[in-house]
């Protein structure tokens, strides 16, 4: 999402965000903020300022955003856009880094645990499907740890085989166990 209108709508709803600008957007600098001297992890903060999105259209956006430019040796220049004015530049960089870990985890859920396809279209169904995917991810991690395996695919196949064997044992047990007599339902005297 790189639209000025989208950022303004999110900000108008008082939702806090931190994102990266993929290209140098045209911004009108309102005021510059102090730059911390220490590095934020592997990042060196170059600039920190408050800006308005510059636009050539008739619609002017009143929303001010904070822009932090930082450099690291691996990715070069990184530009962060946020409406979190209460955080330091270092906290914004660290928060974005944590957010990236969450995105990688959800990519993992989508890629390896078939999270691209929804079994349901309602909110409860989608939430339940993700709970099941989280449980599956935990079980696969347990299998990987138990078998000292580094291969996710091998751990997933091992888990599938274990669950299949478990289901077969349960079905066989149900066939061999005597069935309890059905419960007689009587009408309530009330």
Task: Output the pLDDT for position 39.
Answer: 65
Task: Output the pLDDT for position 190.
Answer: 61
Quick check: 1 pLDDT over 50? no
| DSSP string computed for 45-101 | EEEEEEEEE--SSSPPP---EEEEEEEETTTEEEEEEES-TTS-HHHHHHHHHHHHH
Tell me: the pLDDT tens digits for 139-177?
888 988 898 888 888 888 888 899 899 888 888 887 777
Which residue, 108, 137, 163, sits at the end of a domain? 108
Which residue, 53, 76, 108, sits at the end of a domain? 108
Q: Which domain holds residue 54?
A: 4-108
Do 90 and 171 fall into the same domain? Answer: no
Do 65 and 138 fall into the same domain? Answer: no
141 vs 21, 148, 155, 176, CA distance in Å? 34, 10, 8, 34
Q: Model pTM?
A: 0.57
Tell me: the pLDDT tens digits for 79-130?
888 888 999 888 888 888 888 788 887 777 777 666 666 677 888 988 888 8
């Amino acid at each position: 999402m790189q639209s000025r209108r989208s950022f303004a709508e999110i900000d108008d709803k008082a939702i806090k965000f931190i994102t990266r600008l993929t290209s140098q957007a045209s911004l009108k600098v309102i005021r510059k903020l102090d730059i911390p001297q220490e590095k934020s992890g592997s990042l060196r903060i170059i600039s920190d300022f408050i800006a308005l999105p510059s636009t050539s259209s008739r619609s002017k956006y009143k929303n001010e955003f904070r822009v932090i430019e930082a450099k690291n040796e691996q990715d070069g220049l990184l530009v962060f856009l946020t409406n979190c004015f209460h955080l330091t530049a270092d906290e914004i960089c660290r928060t974005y880094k944590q957010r990236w870990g969450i995105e990688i985890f959800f990519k993992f859920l989508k890629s390896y645990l078939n999270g691209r396809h929804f079994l349901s279209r309602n909110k409860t169904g989608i939430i339940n499907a993700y709970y099941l995917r989280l449980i599956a991810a935990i079980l696969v991690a347990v299998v990987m740890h138990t078998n000292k395996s580094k291969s996710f695919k091998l751990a997933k196949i091992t888990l599938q085989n274990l669950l299949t064997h478990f289901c077969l044992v349960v079905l066989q047990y149900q066939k061999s166990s005597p069935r309890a007599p059905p419960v007689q339902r009587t009408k309530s005297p009330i």
